[in-house]
Amino acid sequence: MSRQPHGGRPQISEEPRPGDHAFGEDDQWLLAGGARYCGGMGITLNIPDSVLQGLRIPEGEIAQRLRTELAIALYAQGALSLGKAAELAEMNLMNFGDMVGERGIARHYGDAELAQDVSYARSE
């Protein structure tokens, strides 16, 4: 796996090395192959050329479409909130919410969203 210096891009490695961020339970995720991801700067996903060539998506739309599809899938699984999924898709919240609805994906509406809506309604 490739590595970037600490303080730059997020670090991906097989095992922590001296000087690496100390991995704790709150900030450690396992990726395929047991690699660890730590940081908040972003992540690069390498997709094989053969897969990219097999996509039936215009070349200029691939990156945005994959971001959107990943965001929708993660939202549908409950791994991301609607706001964070919209951010990942680089869409505004209303448009992303509409897209989720068009696909028949149930909206995740919990106590935090209810409190936010009630607060908003009372302010008008």
Residue with the two structure tokens 């990943």? 70
Write out pLDDT tens, residues 7-54: 443 333 334 334 333 333 344 444 444 555 555 568 888 999 999 999
Q: With contact defined as beta carbons under 8 Å apart, do 1 and 29 qualify?
A: no
Supply the DSSP symbol for 121: H
Residue with the two structure tokens 């309604």? 121
3 state SS of 61: helix
Write out pLDDT tens, residues 57-90: 999 999 999 999 999 999 999 999 999 999 999 9
